[in-house]
Structure 1
Amino acid sequence: MKHSVDTHFFKGELELPEGSQVDTLLPNYQKTTLAGEDVGKRLNEPTGGPALSDFLTDKERILIILNDGQRPTPSKMVLEQIMPRLYTKETKIIIACGTHREPNMAEKRKILGDYLDDFCDELHYNRSKEDDFNPYGETSRGTRVRFNKLLNWADGIIPVGSVEPHYFAGLTGGRKSFLPGVAAYSTIEANHSLATKDGSATFALEGNPVHEDMMEAVSLLDLDRIFSIQTVVDSGSNPCFMSCGDLISSFDEAGKRAMQIYGVTIPFKYDLVIAGVSAPLNKTLYQSQKGLENASLARRTGGRIVLSSLCTEGVGDDVFVELLKEGKTPKGALELIENEFKLGYQKAAKIARHALEGELFLHSGIQEGVVKSIFATPVFDLAQCTRGLEGPQRVLIIPNAPMTVPLLA
């Protein structure tokens, strides 16, 4: 039997044994999205704390924190609504790069729109290894918290985020504008080392050591100086939900909606999961790996995952690849991680565990040798995805795996 497949990068006919079952998993996207005027109205309807107009009353220096080009956050739309309210304020913008590279010019234009020209002298980037950072204390898990010095400059801080599934922090958004967004490298590394611990998983918040450490870190800030704007987006990166106000309640509300939209029930686990990755996460293998995490939730033990992503910029930060190469086997890699942690090893640990649980195939622009070094089989067409499979198969196609979380019924 044949079945049509379309995962952005992977398109064609999939040849399967007769009697196979093929399902497609999509998020529960809403039919309506928010227009600019809807976003503007929501700014006066906070989930907690004052409305934006009241928040700004006694503020003179405003720092806006925006996500980088590797998130689908509708930053430009939000800026169009908040900037007219800031014309009497001294305003700066920082891109919350965390440890990511700085956005290129096309990404900057997408993030800021015409405001890129207005803020050419007041646009900053978090350079986690270079910038000056101020200490704020230490969490109970031992993370020494250091945030970008610009936080001290501002008497009002407006983080603009989007809440999506995250494979070890549970969800993006909210507290992640600060950690990792505008934190020092050492702070990020200490926090992310917790990703190898039990409880760090997609949608997990309570009992998740990474999330709880992040929340403890941001609690060291003066939260009254923060007006948070959190969005949830559809497949076109258009906002379909927005919450704002204090950092905690705005994240909680957006998180609830994100789980409703991105979490999708499956009746059983599958023999073969074909997982696509779309923009902006399809630029590097480092980011595309998030699709692998969600696909693994739907694969039976011993089953096969095919991850399909363009990876136009290659591997990205290759620390995790080098660790997997050094380990030589999944078990060897996990043993190395037990002895030492570096930022990026959390990704290596997840990949190694998935390789132990079943087969990994990768359809991408990555060199074959690199693909094999991370315990995956390179594939170039759909025929290779089913090679070696015998008898009727249960197959799941997830066109946009990073934004789709399979939940077993």
Structure 2
Amino acid sequence: AEIAWGKKTACIAICDITRPVPNEMILRPVLRTLEEAGIVRRDITILVATGLHRPNLGAELVEMVGRDIADNYRIENHYGQELSQHTYLGQSPRGVPIWIDTRFVQAELKITTGLIEPHLMAGFSGGRKLICPGIAALETIKVWHGPEFLEHPKADCGILDGNPVHEENTWIARRTGCDFIVNVVIDSERRPLKWVAGDMEAAFLEGVQFVKEVVRDTVAEPVDIVVTSSAGYPLDTTFYQSVKGMTGALPIVKQGGTIIIAASLSEGIGSPQFEQLFREHDNLELFVERILGKDYFLMDQWQLEELAKVRRKAKVKMVSGGIAPEVLAGLFVEPATSVEAAVAASLAEYGPDARIAVIPKGPYVLAQVA
């Protein structure tokens, strides 16, 4: 409450529908505290940090924040492709142009909420990620998500030290300014396990330490086959999001092994740009060479780059009712009718003594070889 006294306007950045954050549980006390400190309700903006994802509207907003908050507070979406809605804040040390949503930049009190979990590029989600990429413009994200960052060996799940993706968006968030964060760690049933709040960096690192203790699991040696999932709704609604489950299996699968992943893919492949990437490229290594050449860019290319990392090491069999098998076959994965059928086919390939590991909720586990 102390940091809110004397402030006239506030902006609270929250995760979009792709993250199962208990937003209502977080927002109720935060909003009450802001109003008790004298900030008028009409001067509080809840900003959905979509990054470059689609906006969340109508029933989705009610699902995210609850009916009462949806009906009584101003909730607006971030539109990352609308540069005019952003303010330029200079360049980061590695040359990323910093364009951040003007509504957040101009607010006298800046708050972010979020979920701390393993992240395939930034090490862990939460904290600084609500600002970059959450409320950053495409011009910022395309450089920060560029191959110069993502091909770095430390740009990986569970790694912060030496990870340029983490270091750069921490710098960008610090440059933007953030007065207070509230982040949560959830269990497999999506119930809050731990809350952290306060300074953007200190609270985030406290949460990361806890996550490392609860989500890390090991196998004695690399395995031939990993069976996993995209952890259900909302992370399994698109092929784009399902790549996160695949990357979670990489540390424990053998070179030349197989990852079997189940996902609903109820919303299809992903953005129009992501679909275009598959139409334009039938060879992943040539695609990576092309983006490294810097004369080509298409939004969401970073997720195809992550898929290329997966395919360098392993085959992928995908079980889904959301995308037709003939379409899946054009996405650098092999369609499978069921997990059981995929396991049987893999055992036929690797033999009855093949080692199998199961990661029930791929994106939420730090799988490692002991």
Taking structure 2 as the reference length, what is the TM-score of the superposition? 0.91
Show the counterpart of 1:28. none
Deviation at 1:217, TM superposition (A): 0.9
Show the counterpart of 1:3. none
Show the counterpart of 2:80. 128
1:401 to 356, 362, 365: 362
Show the counterpart of 1:55. 3
- Counterpart CA distance in 1 for 2:226 and 2:116 is 25
The number of aligned residues is: 353
- Counterpart CA distance in 2 for 1:238 and 1:392 is 38
Show the counterpart of 2:21. 73
**Does residue 315 of the first structure (1) align with residue 269 of the second (2)?**
yes
Retained in 2: the 8 A contact 1:65–1:94?
Answer: yes
Deviation at 1:324, TM superposition (A): 4.4
- Counterpart CA distance in 1 for 2:316 and 2:7 is 52
- Counterpart CA distance in 2 for 1:132 and 1:320 is 24
Retained in 2: the 8 A contact 1:192–1:343?
Answer: no
Deviation at 1:139, TM superposition (A): 0.7
Matches within 5 A, 1:139-150: 139-150=92-103
**Does residue 345 of the first structure (1) align with residue 306 of the second (2)?**
no
**Other structure's SS at 1:230 match:** strand
Show the counterpart of 1:392. 353
Deviation at 1:174, TM superposition (A): 0.5
Retained in 1: the 8 A contact 2:277–2:298?
Answer: no
Retained in 1: the 8 A contact 2:127–2:183?
Answer: yes
- Counterpart CA distance in 1 for 2:283 and 2:368 is 30
Retained in 1: the 8 A contact 2:110–2:177?
Answer: no
- Counterpart CA distance in 2 for 1:81 and 1:331 is 49
- Counterpart CA distance in 2 for 1:70 and 1:236 is 16
Retained in 2: the 8 A contact 1:196–1:346?
Answer: no
Show the counterpart of 1:334. 288
Retained in 1: the 8 A contact 2:260–2:342?
Answer: no
Task: Supply the AA of the counterpart residue of 1:261.
Answer: V
Could you list the per-position Cα deviations for residues 292-320 of structure 1 after superposition, in whole angstroms to 9, with x for gaps in the alignment? 00012221111111111001101112544
**Does residue 91 of the first structure (1) align with residue 44 of the second (2)?**
yes
Q: For structure 1, list consecutive stretches of 5 or more residues without a partner in the other structure.
A: 1-52
Matches within 5 A, 1:198-237: 198-223=153-178, 226-237=179-190
Task: Supply the AA of the counterpart residue of 1:181.
Answer: G
Retained in 1: the 8 A contact 2:112–2:130?
Answer: yes
Deviation at 1:195, TM superposition (A): 1.8
Task: Supply the AA of the counterpart residue of 2:304.
Answer: A
Task: Supply the AA of the counterpart residue of 2:171.
Answer: E
**Other structure's SS at 1:283 match:** coil
**Does residue 302 of the first structure (1) align with residue 261 of the second (2)?**
no
Q: Which moved more, 1:279-288 or 1:86-95?
A: 86-95
**Other structure's SS at 1:386 match:** helix
Deviation at 1:369, TM superposition (A): 2.9
Task: Supply the AA of the counterpart residue of 1:103.
Answer: N
Task: Supply the AA of the counterpart residue of 1:361.
Answer: K
Distance 1:318 1:198, change over 3 A: farther
Show the counterpart of 1:372. 329
Matches within 5 A, 1:112-191: 112-113=65-66, 114-119=68-73, 122-130=74-82, 131-191=84-144
Retained in 2: the 8 A contact 1:325–1:374?
Answer: no
**Does residue 281 of the first structure (1) align with residue 229 of the second (2)?**
no
Retained in 2: the 8 A contact 1:98–1:128?
Answer: yes
What is the CA RMSD across the aligned residues, in angstroms? 1.6
Could you list the per-position Cα deviations for residues 67-102 of structure 1 after superposition, in whole angstroms to 9, with x for gaps in the alignment? 100001111101122222222313111100110011
Could you list the per-position Cα deviations for residues 298-346 of structure 1 after superposition, in whole angstroms to 9, with x for gaps in the alignment? 2111111111100110111254454345332332232222223433222
Q: Percent identity between the aligned chains?
A: 27
- Counterpart CA distance in 1 for 2:8 and 2:189 is 35
- Counterpart CA distance in 1 for 2:276 and 2:325 is 15
- Counterpart CA distance in 1 for 2:273 and 2:316 is 20
Task: Supply the AA of the counterpart residue of 2:331.
Answer: I
Retained in 2: the 8 A contact 1:379–1:385?
Answer: no
Could you list the per-position Cα deviations for residues 120-177 of structure 1 after superposition, in whole angstroms to 9, with x for gaps in the alignment? xx21110011251111110111111011111233111111111111101111101111
**Other structure's SS at 1:293 match:** helix
Retained in 2: the 8 A contact 1:167–1:294?
Answer: yes
Q: Which moved more, 1:234-243 or 1:166-175?
A: 234-243
2:151 to 176, 196, 206: 196
Task: Supply the AA of the counterpart residue of 1:362.
Answer: M
- Counterpart CA distance in 1 for 2:106 and 2:224 is 54
Q: Which moved more, 1:102-111 or 1:230-239?
A: 102-111
Q: Which moved more, 1:342-351 or 1:63-72?
A: 342-351
Show the counterpart of 2:319. 363
**Other structure's SS at 1:282 match:** coil
- Counterpart CA distance in 2 for 1:174 and 1:332 is 35
Q: For structure 2, list consecutive stretches of 5 or more residues without a partner in the other structure.
A: none
Taking structure 1 as the reference length, what is the TM-score of the superposition? 0.82
- Counterpart CA distance in 2 for 1:172 and 1:244 is 15
Distance 1:262 1:378, change over 3 A: same
Deviation at 1:373, TM superposition (A): 1.8
**Does residue 240 of the first structure (1) align with residue 193 of the second (2)?**
yes
- Counterpart CA distance in 1 for 2:318 and 2:121 is 21
- Counterpart CA distance in 2 for 1:405 and 1:164 is 9
Retained in 2: the 8 A contact 1:191–1:213?
Answer: yes
Could you list the per-position Cα deviations for residues 209-239 of structure 1 after superposition, in whole angstroms to 9, with x for gaps in the alignment? 111110111221244xx11111111112221
